[in-house]
Amino acid sequence: MRFSPFLARRSLLGLALTLPVLAATPALAANPAEAYVADNIHKGLDILNNKGLSTAQRRSQFEGFLLGLTDMHRIALFTLGQYRRTASHEDQEAFAAAFQNYAVAVYQSYFSKYAGQTLKVTGSTARNTHDYVVTTAMIDPHDSSQQPLEVDFRVLTDSGKPVVVDVAVAGIWLSLEERDQFTAFLGQNGGNIHLLISHLGELAKQFKS
């Protein structure tokens, strides 16, 4: 099975759309998860709008921002699905590194294309004491006739610091879609995680170029 760049673009496009295009109107947060999403929207916006930085500097700072916002390691291991149980610790760590490199490359390839969009926190739902889904609306200020796109962030607060572990765009949870794609790839390739790592590396190079 060929894990295509098109599928990779589609599945991560939503997160690439939400994280790079950050702008919002300050609002009173109902819980720490809402506050976390709203506060970081402004931090990301500051980086993207800083004209005093070179493109390379903005990319580097945005990468640091992105990795600070999300638990990329946790997301990576989740996307391995059942194959995580049989993977050695070394293979898990190698995959997590490859996934992070791949994901950051995707985000960086898109972030400059959607500047000017706004992302407004509209509410949240508590799944349990430390698990929230924060709902936001992506709005194009140049097209008032366009229906805002709903973007949901799943935020966990069980580690003492809120972290984003998944994003849903128009109802599609991206980590779930990644897990389906990766496990399908592994199923067609004898569960060989090294092949998936190699392929993610190839895709990352394509996005960076």
62 burial via Cβ count (<10 Å: 0-12, 13-18, 19+): buried
Q: Which residue has the higher pLDDT, 11 or 87?
A: 87
pLDDT band at 111 (very low <50, low <70, confident <90, very high): low
d(C-alpha 48, C-alpha 117), whole Å: 12
Establish if 90 belongs to a structural domain.
yes
Q: What is the mean pLDDT of residues 172-201?
A: 94
Name which of 108-117, 177-186, 196-205 the model is least confident about.
108-117
CB count in 10 Å sphere of residue 132: 25
**Domain total in the chain:** 1
Establish if 55 belongs to a structural domain.
yes
Establish if 203 belongs to a structural domain.
yes
Judged against a pLDDT cut of 90, whether residue 126 lies above it is answered with yes
Establish if 159 belongs to a structural domain.
no
Q: What is the share, in percent, of the chain residues with pLDDT greater than 90?
A: 42
Q: What is the mean pLDDT of residues 108-133?
A: 80
CB count in 10 Å sphere of residue 201: 14
Helix residue ranges per DSSP H, 126-173? none
Establish if 120 belongs to a structural domain.
no
What are φ and ψ of residue 125, in 5° steps?
-130, 130
List the one residue out of 80, 90, 105, 72 whose CA is nearest residue 182: 80
Name which of 10-14, 65-69, 93-97, 147-151 the model is least confident about.
10-14
Establish if 145 belongs to a structural domain.
no
Judged against a pLDDT cut of 90, whether residue 195 lies above it is answered with yes
Domain that holds residue 186: 5-115+174-208
Establish if 201 belongs to a structural domain.
yes
List the one residue out of 62, 140, 73 whose CA is nearest residue 107: 62
Establish if 152 belongs to a structural domain.
no
First to last CA, the chain: 24
